């Protein structure tokens, strides 16, 4: 029997579906998972704080496969896991649909200045004209990162008639390579960040990149706060050097109450809610986990298996 330590929240989708060679040990609290972790050969540890994730993974010395619903892996002890030979599968793609919908929502909110409409409603004012007159149709978007989320965004924007250019490691038709996109930044109405946070992407949008963008371009970040130099972004927004920013992620999270981003009328903050705006996250993650179990047992490649060296 292979011991799998699993969150009790997953019982509705896993109980009765696990193969007979898996012995589940369910946890419902932090103390329970810390106690069970040393026994785990398979672990599914989605803790609320990064420190708890590191602690539980460190305790799981027998673990051979860690599954997580997190897409970003920048805070996992990847070196320790590589040293122990642990395989890691993450939540890449599980939330891609709802996050892509959030991106479209954010773009439309800027195009039509929907926040201004809501403010008028709160004042009881009947507007005689639309505060926003931009159309997505025939606008140009740059998507940095063309993984599961980037692909879902691409599909939805194509339906709106947006001309999409992608950035990925291997250039091809309609794509740019990692060293090509900066010289083209001034061509795009929308710059969408869907990259993992790694040493390569840390601060990839800084003062120089913001200065290269069109004056009415909107930055959309559903990646990680750390991929943007936030101080440089605040300055660019305050000085109206770009059209705006739709930010689902910030540094830090939660954003402190007095931070200037809260007060800027050309920034929209959505508090890292994009992946949570759904009811099917655990169901989708459980189905993938069940598909991966026989693959793990036979030593085959796993769906959404991360490269511990690259960090995604």
Residues annotated as catalytic (active site), given as ranges: 224, 253, 272
Are residues 24 and 4 in contact, defined by beta-carbon separation less than 8 angstroms?
A: yes
Are residues 220 and 105 in contact, defined by beta-carbon separation less than 8 angstroms?
A: no
Residues sharing a CB contact under 8 Å with residue 225, sequence separation 6 or more, in sequence order: 247, 249, 250, 251, 252, 253
Structure-token match 């496969």, residue found: 65
What is the C-alpha to C-alpha distance for residues 73 and 312, in angstroms, rounded to an integer?
A: 7
Structure-token match 């619903």, residue found: 69
148-159 and 96-111 helices, crossing angle to 10° = 40
Are residues 275 and 267 in contact, defined by beta-carbon separation less than 8 angstroms?
A: no
């Amino acid at each position: 029997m292979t011991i799998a330590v699993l969150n009790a929240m997953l019982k509705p989708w896993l109980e009765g579906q696990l193969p007979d060679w898996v012995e589940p040990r369910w946890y419902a609290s932090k103390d329970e998972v810390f106690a069970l972790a040393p026994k785990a050969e398979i672990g599914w540890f989605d803790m609320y704080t990064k420190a708890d994730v590191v602690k539980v993974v460190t305790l799981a010395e027998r673990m051979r496969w860690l599954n997580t619903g997190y897409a970003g892996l920048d805070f996992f002890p990847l070196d320790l896991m590589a040293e122990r030979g642990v395989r890691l599968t993450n939540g890449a793609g599980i939330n891609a649909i709802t996050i892509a919908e959030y991106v479209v929502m954010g773009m439309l909110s800027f195009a039509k200045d929907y926040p201004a409409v809501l403010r008028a409603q709160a004042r009881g004012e009947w507007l005689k004209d639309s505060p926003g007159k931009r159309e997505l149709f025939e606008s140009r978007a740059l998507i940095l990162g063309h993984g599961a989320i980037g692909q879902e965004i691409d599909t939805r924007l194509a339906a709106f008639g947006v001309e999409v250019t992608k950035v990925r490691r291997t250039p091809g038709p309609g794509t740019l390579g990692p060293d090509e996109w900066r010289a083209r930044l001034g061509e795009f109405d929308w710059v969408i960040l869907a990259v993992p946070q790694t040493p390569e992407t840390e601060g990839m949008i800084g003062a120089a990149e913001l200065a290269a963008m069109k004056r009415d371009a909107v930055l959309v970040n559903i990646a990680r706060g750390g991929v943007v130099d936030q101080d440089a972004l605040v300055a660019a927004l305050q000085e109206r050097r770009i059209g705006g920013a739709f930010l689902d992620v910030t540094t830090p999270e939660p954003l402190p109450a007095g931070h200037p981003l809260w007060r800027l009328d050309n920034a929209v903050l959505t508090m890292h809610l994009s992946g949570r705006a759904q009811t099917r996250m655990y169901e989708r993650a459980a189905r993938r986990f069940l598909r991966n179990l026989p693959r793990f047992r036979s030593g085959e490649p796993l769906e959404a298996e991360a490269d511990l060296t690259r960090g995604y």
